[in-house]
Structure 1
């Protein structure tokens, strides 16, 4: 169990691979086209120029589509090797704010192409962490090095800023450019707290459902579990309004987010991310860098910790 080749796929329809042309580590995902009608089409839309090189594009690129012999319903999509966007964990508020910025811009970009993701929950947000690691991490055991000769050591999100991606367009929908407020019967996504699921017979605007998904992710992953993100509460509260007509569009979200950024000091951005479940000692150790230094000079306590 201590050997690299003992680690099989965690998810049976997802496998890692290496591109023989340039040695790039990639992910292979087996899908059924009849179940995910537009997954390949929408994924390739964002992977084709001029959209592919747009800096606001945070959709996972599709490098290739492999068709399964003798089975027209199956295909294998080739994507970059990614990892959960919260692992390695965030050290500072500024790192989290940059994550928010990329996700807001990325979802706005998707909506500008008249596509609704329809399932942009936490599990469908990942990051390219290639630059963060001194040695490549193992694709099936991401805490270990690829060669299994020790733990995978990483830099921080500040030292080497990663790029965050939306993945899994399996239930996404593309609409006519003239239809700015489409109505769609609710589609079951991963997050069952979406208010639209309380009334499955009533068509809803899927773009505003995306706004809820993203706002709910920020609420659950940061506002409810971490200190120091109270500045996001008013915006997130509006994003998760039960009445979707009261939710802001992504254009409005970004406008308000830009105003929030102007009010954040460098001290705030450099402050440490502290879990609400952390005790006093861990919380003290996670103080803002300038204040930690002050405490250390005054008491010598942090040096011993």
Structure 2
């Protein structure tokens, strides 16, 4: 009997069946997902439970129902093969598991654990993603799994006020300044590698892949605003990060082909460059692309960002200078500005009007409750 026939007949799948469905069928496990299925029992023994989709007994729930696989919780796979969500059995917390091939990224675990050591881990400026545990894959000495808190993309849910964005800027600037102070260059700190701890924002939780939906996909997940529940932002992915000895002088690294391809110093030659000014460019370009170009009202950031993205890397400010200048900018902003709603450049008029009404109701409530205009986590 084929796996697909077994699915139709209602039989469970034994531990030796890697693929419960014909690979050509919608909703079947991808080749990269099979790794997680094969290691599900080992991970359970280590204290982490994968979703039903990756267990040996999984029977696709949509078979024979006429329901599309993508509307079923067990029909939604991992977003990326090397990263998956899991539940920590001891307390039910949602975590992320990431595969790390040590021969390819030899410094990722080392740098991540360095930031978890004292006194660094207790420093409020440390915005490097916490490493909760490192698991060694039993049959592969070159492969480790990093366990981290489950984080959301930094822009979901949407920012409501300028004060919320100012809190975001402050944290990511301090986070990169913290890395540089310890002579570690991130080397890929664009918007893809900045995330947020959104657990407190969602009182009913959210689906780990379709993160705007409830865990059971029964509807949109209700959430608080960032002003109501201040959130913390993190820099992630230290796969190509490097730690340098200051006694060796300014470091030099070859151009990076992935990530943000707009880096000016990577356009003209292949000669090695100092990665610290490039980090400054990444951060400035993220703000330029994700805020200044797409939203109204961020003129107060234009001069600083213009300096951060200068073509000549030697003319860019250091992260110490960025943090100092940003602090002056933050202090210059009025409470009225910080509590104002952020209009999108492509926002439809009817949506703008609705959001404006909702925002004013919230704004009055925030003021009466004396909730800070710049919501920073404790």
TM-score under structure 2 normalisation? 0.74
Structure 1 window deviating more from structure 2 (267-276 vs 17-26): it is 17-26
Q: Would the aligned equivalents of 1:118 and 1:189 in 2 still touch at CA under 8 Å?
A: no
Equivalent in the alignment of 2:235: 166
1:292 positional shift = 11
Aligned with 1:44 (options 98, 113, 132): 113
SS of aligned partner of 1:52: helix
Question: CA RMSD for the aligned pairs?
Answer: 2.0
Q: Would the aligned equivalents of 1:271 and 1:287 in 2 still touch at CA under 8 Å?
A: no
Partner Cα distance (2:120, 2:305) in 1? 28
Partner Cα distance (2:311, 2:101) in 1? 34
1:280 positional shift = 3.8
Higher radius of gyration, 1 or 2: 2
Aligned with 2:245 (options 176, 183, 200): 176
Q: 1:291 to 1:163 in 2, by over 3 A?
A: closer
Aligned with 1:248 (options 317, 320, 332): 317
1:181 positional shift = 3.0
Partner Cα distance (1:121, 1:115) in 2? 16
Q: Would the aligned equivalents of 1:219 and 1:236 in 2 still touch at CA under 8 Å?
A: yes
1:179 positional shift = 4.6
Structure 1 window deviating more from structure 2 (184-193 vs 81-90): it is 184-193
Provide structure 1 residue ranges, at least 5 long, that are not aligned to the other structure: 294-305
Q: Would the aligned equivalents of 1:120 and 1:214 in 2 still touch at CA under 8 Å?
A: yes
Partner Cα distance (2:189, 2:258) in 1? 9
Q: Would the aligned equivalents of 1:274 and 1:286 in 2 still touch at CA under 8 Å?
A: no
Equivalent in the alignment of 1:257: 326
Equivalent in the alignment of 2:211: 142
SS of aligned partner of 1:178: helix
1:188 positional shift = 2.8
Matches within 5 A, 1:263-278: 263-278=332-347
Cα deviation, 1:249-303, whole Å, max 9, x if unaligned, reads: 000001110111121000100111111112444444555966999xxxxxxxxxx
SS of aligned partner of 1:238: helix
Equivalent in the alignment of 1:296: none
TM-score under structure 1 normalisation? 0.91
Cα deviation, 1:64-114, whole Å, max 9, x if unaligned, reads: 111112211111110110010000000001100110000000000010111
Structure 1 window deviating more from structure 2 (7-16 vs 94-103): it is 7-16
1:93 correspondence with 2:162: yes
Equivalent in the alignment of 2:72: 3
Partner Cα distance (2:356, 2:289) in 1? 22
Partner Cα distance (2:352, 2:338) in 1? 17
Aligned with 1:227 (options 293, 296, 304): 296
Partner Cα distance (1:44, 1:199) in 2? 36
Cα deviation, 1:133-179, whole Å, max 9, x if unaligned, reads: 01111112112122333321110010001100011011111100335
Aligned with 1:60 (options 102, 110, 129): 129
Structure 1 window deviating more from structure 2 (3-12 vs 108-117): it is 3-12
Equivalent in the alignment of 2:65: none
Equivalent in the alignment of 2:264: 195
Partner Cα distance (1:204, 1:168) in 2? 21
1:32 positional shift = 1.0
Q: 1:83 to 1:12 in 2, by over 3 A?
A: same
Provide structure 2 residue ranges, at least 5 long, that are not aligned to the other structure: 1-68, 364-378
Partner Cα distance (2:186, 2:287) in 1? 17
Q: Would the aligned equivalents of 1:93 and 1:271 in 2 still touch at CA under 8 Å?
A: yes
Partner Cα distance (2:310, 2:239) in 1? 25
1:106 correspondence with 2:178: no
Q: Would the aligned equivalents of 1:186 and 1:197 in 2 still touch at CA under 8 Å?
A: yes
Q: 1:136 to 1:285 in 2, by over 3 A?
A: closer
1:154 correspondence with 2:223: yes
